[in-house]
Amino acid sequence: MQVEGCVAFVSGANRGVGACFVEKLLEQGARKVYAGARDIRALDGHDPRVVPVELDITNTGQVARAAALAGDANLLVNNAGINRLEPVLAATDPNAARAEMEVNYFGTLEMIRAFAPSLRLSGGAIVNVSSILARVSLPSMASLCASKAAALRMTEGVRAELAPYGVRVLAILPGAIDTDMSRDFPGPKLAPAEVVEAALAALRGGGEEVYLGAMAQQIAAGLAADRQAVQGSLAGAL
């Protein structure tokens, strides 16, 4: 799919990777970008090609209104997500896992269901921004990993259902990204621009699962060789 001339909808567009998606899509010639955010005052409204959309992806009514407004979109970028940084049993917030599932799984599914009818007609594409933690469990944020794993399995199902209509469905699986969500992670981090540029390159090219950065690529290779060893090496990362 060519970015030039496309009409895109980006969720979580007010900062970090989402804001970078809006910027890079415009740079690469998108005709229009719908920018979804809970607080549209945080969006940069200087470019006339950007259409701010108030959007909480856990709000069914707002999702439906967004899809109706953006009926001309042929690219859906599901970027909105949360990380409550909680383990499973020793969670300080007993509602963290439910909140992560509501946003990272159910909210993303709601967006796809709402936009699927128009995407079937346009033969467009969906980009789901996930994490390498969809493939493994990091104990210190295991409930996030569970929500991302659920979303990855859902992505595979959506891909199969939309394939007959020529709709591509990509899963973007980076390592840690230099955003507020990973502010306490001490290791190397990807710049948001690296993630977005690689995702758009994959959109123009081929592939369905895109592993970005040394961390993600090493974990993916390790899982292919010895899954138990990889998970065991992460077990002490509490």
- The pLDDT of residue 44: 73
pTM for the whole thing? Answer: 0.94
- The pLDDT of residue 238: 47
Phi, psi of 93, rounded to the nearest 5 degrees: -115, 105
Question: What confidence tens digit (pLDDT) does each residue in 87-121 have?
Answer: 999 999 999 999 999 999 999 999 999 999 999 99
Least confident of 38-42, 55-59, 216-220: 38-42
* Closest alpha carbon to 147 in 198, 205, 155: 155
CB atoms within 10 A of CB 178: 18
- The pLDDT of residue 42: 83
Taking each helix axis as running N to C, give the angle between helix 108-122 and helix 60-69, from 0 to 180 degrees, rounded to the nearest 10: 20
Question: What confidence tens digit (pLDDT) does each residue in 170-205 have?
Answer: 999 999 998 766 555 667 889 999 999 999 999 999
Domains of the chain by start residue, with CATH? 7-234 (3.40.50.720)
For residue 22, CA distances in Å to 1, 13, 17, 76, 94 come to 17, 7, 9, 12, 34
Q: How confident is the model at residue 237 (pLDDT cuts 50, 70, 90)?
A: low
Average of per-residue pLDDT across 54-63 = 98
* Closest alpha carbon to 172 in 139, 132, 144: 132
CA angle (23, 28, 33) in 5-degree steps:
50
